[in-house]
Amino acid sequence: MPTSRRQFLATSAAAAAVPYFAWNQKAFANDEKNDRPNIGCIGVGSMGTGDARGHAHFGDVVAVCDVDMGHARRAKNDDNIGKGKADMYEDYRKVLDRDDIDVVSIVTPDHWHVKIAIEALQAGKHVFCQKPLTLTLEENQLIRNACKKYPDLVFTVGTQQRSQKDLFLRAVNMVQKGLLGDITKVTAGINGSPTGGPFKAVVPPADLDWYMWLGQAPLTDYMEKRCHYEFRWWYEYSGGKFTDWGAHHVDIATWALDQQGEGKGPVEVDGTDANHPVPFENGYPTVDNKYNTSHDFDVVCKYDNGTVLHVTSRGENGILFEGTKGRIFVNRGKITGKPIEEKWDEGEFTTADVEKLYKGKPYEGHKSNFYRCIREGGQPVSDVFSHVQAMNICHLSSVASRLNRKINWDPKAEQITGDDQAATFFARRQRPGFEIPRIEAPGEGQTAQAS
């Protein structure tokens, strides 16, 4: 007997580890309306379009939302998304207000992620949010608190490298099994941000609500190169390559090193070898019409066990693990090194190994894993708790680079220590009307550190 959408909702929050019927993708992707969760897609630009099409395999996209109504119209009429039937919104809150929406996909600029995600959890929605999830160290705490408060809601981060078995999962498995010996050095090659400008301020396009697009960020004139994809290269909205590619490669590096538990992380982050395309004063750009995120850097993160992680723009994009028994390099196109060539790990990467990395779930695609967790319960392969630990490193790398100095980090207290100026970068002030909800995590006596 088919499971109704309401039964799906009622059982997903408290589902047992084993569902009452066998999982298969068709259970979500068939043609019967009642079998499929309703999905709202918030942010349907370039990446948002791809994600929305992916979600539509598992449910019905009943709402599309974007502050650029050109994006929203395109998604509504896309035969693989809204099919001409989805409701179209400019304000994401109207999506969250709908009781019939079970899942939201959030693919907005980075500075909007946490606010929308927390409000989605408060509204009882399962969340798939693109990386990088956070803009600041404080936002890491805020979103983690929210996920602790709503443990029955599934939250997946779009770090899809965690679902690439023969490359990144294989590398993580080799490191965790000790096949490379003790790891002494990891290099995360994430490339540098582009340089560009000066850009001219112009009138925003008629379809774009620029005031809403800015959200928590300071009011400023519209420039085409501040908006949509290009927002990545402005510290006001993102972290440049530190968070763009760092959210991927630093995540894999810290996963392999087993440094993603709460309270873990580096104790020193050295940003003295970093350059920016515009002048900086006290950690802030003095030019407002050019890209300002770092284009050239080699940040050194030191752990108390002696391991060193380089977050660098130099060399090939990918992750190099160096241990006492060997070294491997992995990126999205290859995995190389003597252990690979000599098949040191032959027969070692088993189905059980993969399922361990997948937190007990079978190996499958990133979104398949998300919807499986909604049905069965459990944590997705790309969970918030591990992601924010990697993002701590990304944000600390950014802060140290902006100040061009070493900073000390207490991973247990999650505080920058011994540097009052650097500590001010822990959070940033949100524009009135765009504040992020403060949620107290269960069992804690106070909320996350506020700005």
**What would the DSSP string read from start to end of 129-177?**
EPSP--SSHHHHHHHHHHHHH-TTS-EEE--GGGG-IIIIIHHHHHHHT
CA distance 187 to 317: 10
Same domain, 268 and 367: no
Q: Is 391 exposed, middle or buried (0-12, 13-18, 19+ CB in 10 A)?
A: buried
Q: Give the pLDDT of residue 306.
A: 96
Q: Give the pLDDT of residue 274.
A: 98
Same domain, 18 and 68: yes
Same domain, 145 and 229: no
Long-range interactions of 437-443: CB distance < 8 A, separation 24+: 437/115, 437/118, 437/119, 437/122, 437/142, 437/146, 438/142, 439/118, 439/122, 439/142, 439/145, 439/146, 439/149, 440/145, 440/149, 441/144, 441/145, 441/148, 441/149, 442/148, 442/149
Same domain, 113 and 249: no
Same domain, 222 and 192: yes
| CB atoms inside a 10 Å sphere around CB 343 | 9
- Kindly provide the b/e burial profile for residues 305-318, where b requires at least 16 CB atoms within 10 angstroms of the residue's own CB: eebbbbbbbeeebb
Same domain, 153 and 213: no
Q: Give the pLDDT of residue 342.
A: 83
CA distance 264 to 90: 40
Element (H, E) at 69: helix 69-77
Give the pLDDT of the chain (451 residues) as one tens digit per residue. 334 454 444 444 433 332 222 333 334 433 345 579 999 999 999 999 999 999 999 999 999 999 999 999 999 999 999 999 999 999 999 999 999 999 999 999 999 999 999 999 999 999 999 999 999 999 999 999 999 999 999 999 999 999 999 999 999 999 999 999 999 999 999 999 999 999 999 999 999 999 999 999 999 999 999 999 999 999 999 999 999 999 999 999 999 999 999 999 999 999 999 999 999 999 999 999 999 999 999 999 999 999 999 999 999 999 999 999 999 999 999 999 988 888 776 667 899 999 999 999 999 999 999 999 999 999 999 999 999 999 999 999 999 999 999 999 999 999 999 999 999 999 999 999 999 999 887 875 443 333 3
Q: Is 436 a member of any domain?
A: no
Q: Give the pLDDT of residue 5.
A: 53
What SS3 state is found at 319? strand
In the block, residue with structure tokens 């390099």? 329
Q: Is 206 exposed, middle or buried (0-12, 13-18, 19+ CB in 10 A)?
A: exposed
Element (H, E) at 395: helix 384-403
CA distance 308 to 315: 17
- Kindly provide the b/e burial profile for residues 28-46, where b requires at least 16 CB atoms within 10 angstroms of the residue's own CB: beeeeeebbbbbbbbbbbe
CA distances (Å), 440 to each of 129, 145, 146, 314, 371, in order?
Answer: 21, 6, 7, 41, 27
In the block, residue with structure tokens 């196109």? 333
**What is the domain count for the chain?**
2
CA distances (Å), 108 to each of 129, 231, 339, in order?
Answer: 9, 10, 40
Same domain, 76 and 221: no
Same domain, 135 and 205: no
Same domain, 125 and 180: no
CA distances (Å), 297 to each of 145, 209, 269, 270, 272, in order?
Answer: 32, 35, 13, 10, 9
Q: What type of residue sits at position 447?
A: T
Q: Is 391 a member of any domain?
A: yes
| Residues whose CB is less than 8 angstroms from the CB of residue 291 and which lie 6 or more positions away in sequence, other chains included | 193, 194, 195, 196, 197, 225, 230, 233, 234, 277, 278
Same domain, 152 and 35: yes
Q: Is 442 a member of any domain?
A: no
Q: Give the pLDDT of residue 443.
A: 76
Q: Is 298 a member of any domain?
A: yes
Q: Is 449 a member of any domain?
A: no
Choose among 354, 358, 373, 352: nearest CA to 23: 373
What is the extent of the structural domain holding 396? 163-356+385-426
Q: Is 296 a member of any domain?
A: yes
CA distance 28 to 60: 9
Q: Is 437 a member of any domain?
A: no
Backbone angles phi, psi at 110, to 5 degrees: -55, -35
pTM: 0.92
> Could you tell me the CATH number of the domain that includes residue 205?
3.30.360.10
Q: Give the pLDDT of residue 32.
A: 47
Joined together, the tokens standing for residue 5 give: 């959408």
Same domain, 220 and 136: no
DSSP state of 47: H
Choose among 412, 389, 422, 396: nearest CA to 304: 412
Same domain, 155 and 238: no
What DSSP line would sit under 334-364, residue for residue?
-EESHHHHTTTTTTTS-HHHHHHHTTTSPP-
> Could you tell me the CATH number of the domain that includes residue 65?
3.40.50.720
Q: Is 450 a member of any domain?
A: no
